[in-house]
Amino acid sequence: MNLLKITPTRSNLMAAQKTLSFAREGYDILDKKREVLLTELLRIAQDATQLQAMVWSLLADAYRALEEARLSMGREHLEWAALSVNKTIRVTVTPRSVMGVPVPTVSAQGGPPEVSWGMGNTTVALDEAAARFRSVLDQVPQLAEKLTTAWRLAGDLHRTQRRVNALQYHFIPQYEKTVAYIESVLEEREREELFRLKRVKSMHEVRYDLPEPAKGSG
């Protein structure tokens, strides 16, 4: 890993050490966030998987009942019965946050009436199909909430993991290596300066210790 192009000075060392400290703190925060997101994602994904399997099973039963109604009533009568349903479900989506990730809370109000057609030209199979589709509709808002939450948590977990990896394997090691290099350069300079000062002091002491020439000599 290459060193940062920083001049090895005391001020640059302090700045690099401060940046390294912030990076380590950021890594700790992101790593904790990653763990929480992963735990929450696993929980939501498990719930969503179970709920989706149940919805698919209910939906399959509903379509089988609908096919029985078509066979017993005929396609035209079935379509007229379907057109008589004029009441809809109102869906409300309220945002909330999980570790800073916006996720929805989905709720539904209202629904089709128990029986929206007359007794003539209809069969028990149609009533059974309608009941089964109402069971599906009761679960769809919750399934939509859990699936959307799982996808958003997974996306943010992926982004958080990339940032954690960048800090752990690139940014922090690069700054650690750069800080160590600057410290070694400054220490070497201090040793050289200390050696120079000792040498100058030694030269002065030798000069002052030389005997004075005898008077009248020469």
| CATH 3.40.50.1370, applies to 28-151 | no
The pTM assigned to this predicted structure is 0.73
User: What is the per-residue pLDDT across 27-66, written as a single tens digit (0 to 9) for each?
Assistant: 999 999 999 999 999 999 999 999 999 999 999 999 998 8
User: What is the per-residue pLDDT across 114-133, written as a single tens digit (0 to 9) for each?
Assistant: 555 555 556 777 778 888 88
Residues 6+ apart with CB under 8 A from 159: none
Of 26 and 117, the structure prediction assigns the larger pLDDT to 26
pLDDT band at 74 (very low <50, low <70, confident <90, very high): confident
CA–CA dist 66, 126 (Å, integer): 7
Question: What residue segments make up the domains of the chain, in order of their start?
Answer: 28-151
